[in-house]
Homo-oligomer: A and B are copies of this chain.
Amino acid sequence: MQRGSRSTLAAATFACVAMSLSAQTPAPTKPRARDLGLPIGGAAGPLDAITDVSGVEVGHTTLISGSGKLVVGKGPIRTGVTVIHPRGKANPDPVFGAWFTLNGNGEMTGTTWLQESGVLEGPIAITNTHSVGVVRDAILQWQVGKPGMQPWGLPIVAETYDGGLNDINGFHVRPEHVISALDGAKGGPVQEGAVGGGTGMVCHGFKGGIGTASRRLPAEQGGFTVGVLVQCNYGARRDLRIAGVPVGEEIPDLQACIANHDPIPAGQGQRRPCDAPSSTRDDDDGAGSIIVVVATDAPLLPHQLKRIATRVSLGIGRMGGWGSNPSGDIFVAFSTANAGAAGGVDTVSVRMLANAKISPLFTATAQATEEAIANAMLAAETMTGANDFRVYALPVDRLKTIMKKYGR
């Protein structure tokens, strides 16, 4: 991309400040993994999204404004928050849940009680690393004001780091942004790419962000649905595999770079100008993180949901993640079955899928994770943020050519 095109990009990208994107009509211009026929395995649900699990609602607030030099507290801003209501925003009935971490260089609040109780009360939120606190307290504020919701809680809030593109130390996510995402969440198609908490994220050296996918088991395996949503900000370029194909090795160029000829700011010294010739070095080295939310309607108990959350690692491994030291790879899984049970106050009856029937859900979880990561990269557009740092989108045409080269 030439420097001359930058202002056009900015004009398009910066328009939607603090707007709940769940209320927007998504621009369906970019293909998703299934549009490209990527052979990841398994059959998706109708939306190929976490919202294929009945009741699940997703809301985003996306914050994009400013350009050029970073001024802490001013911008540029490339961040936001994404929320997931397991049973929808109007239904505070808790769900059974569990969590797992592949590499714990990150935060997910609320996991101590989730582990102890097996119960997930309230929404899940994902934001940037330095906004976990404000998002957490804002969820409590939101609950306190809603009749029928418990006026206290231990919210689940996770994060990945967007300090490359975003003025993360400006603390731009505010309580009203969180409440807007909570109230604006809905079912149906989910906006992907550089939206919500995923706005400023980088995945395998390409522009990342939010991605989603689902798998629906055949009737003879119970017909259950597994839906996954990722906030994708992890991985080295060289390690990226899609459906087993070494896509990262095939696209060593299009590395993140500084889009402006002006002197590169102090502390950015390792970054190279976009128009320098040697742009194939892989600077990123797998830093970053990935948060994965798994929803299912299969009647799984907490200890079984722990097993589900553990399988997310397998999908990440297949994409080329190693759970690198700087990465916060943290996963949460919940089941929308057993309405009324998790929040019961006496002895209740619950349905449990036998362990002997659980394996197809493991496969579905790993496959949906793979596809959600691919979808995050496919949906995102090239973005230029703080200090003119630019991260390129995964080029779809080159991806198609590479898949063909490797017989897929």
Which residues of A (327-383) have their CB < 8 Å from a CB of B?
328, 330, 341, 344-359, 362-363, 366
Which residues of A (241-269) have their CB < 8 Å from a CB of B?
241, 243-246
A385 contacts B by Cβ under 8 Å:
no
A285 contacts B by Cβ under 8 Å:
yes
Which residues of A (135-186) have their CB < 8 Å from a CB of B?
135-138, 140-141, 144, 151-152, 154, 157, 161, 163, 168-169, 171
B116, B222, B307, B328: the one contacting A113 at CB < 8 Å is B328
Shortest beta-carbon distance, A164 to chain B, in Å? Answer: 12
Which residues of A (101-154) have their CB < 8 Å from a CB of B?
101-113, 115-119, 129-138, 140-141, 144, 151-152, 154
A310 contacts B by Cβ under 8 Å:
yes
B137, B303, B349: the one contacting A350 at CB < 8 Å is B349
B103, B116, B140: the one contacting A116 at CB < 8 Å is B103
Number of interface residues of A (CB under 8 A): 97
- CB-CB under 8 A from A113, the residues of chain B are 104-107, 328
B137, B144, B303, B317: the one contacting A132 at CB < 8 Å is B137
Can you name the residue of chain B whose Cβ is closest to the Cβ of A341? B352
- Whether the pair B341, A357 counts as a contact (CB closer than 8 A) is no
- CB-CB under 8 A from A115, the residues of chain B are 101, 104
- CB-CB under 8 A from A245, the residues of chain B are 244
A3 contacts B by Cβ under 8 Å:
no
Interface code A376-408, partner B: CB below 8 Å = 1, 0 otherwise?
A: 000000000000000000000000000001111
- Whether the pair A359, B285 counts as a contact (CB closer than 8 A) is yes
Shortest beta-carbon distance, A304 to chain B, in Å? Answer: 8
- CB-CB under 8 A from A151, the residues of chain B are 169
- Whether the pair B130, A132 counts as a contact (CB closer than 8 A) is no
**Which has the most chain B C-beta neighbours within 10 Å: A119, A303, A324?**
A303
Bound complex: CA of A288 vs CA of B169, how far in Å? 34
Shortest beta-carbon distance, A84 to chain B, in Å? Answer: 18
- Whether the pair B104, A325 counts as a contact (CB closer than 8 A) is no
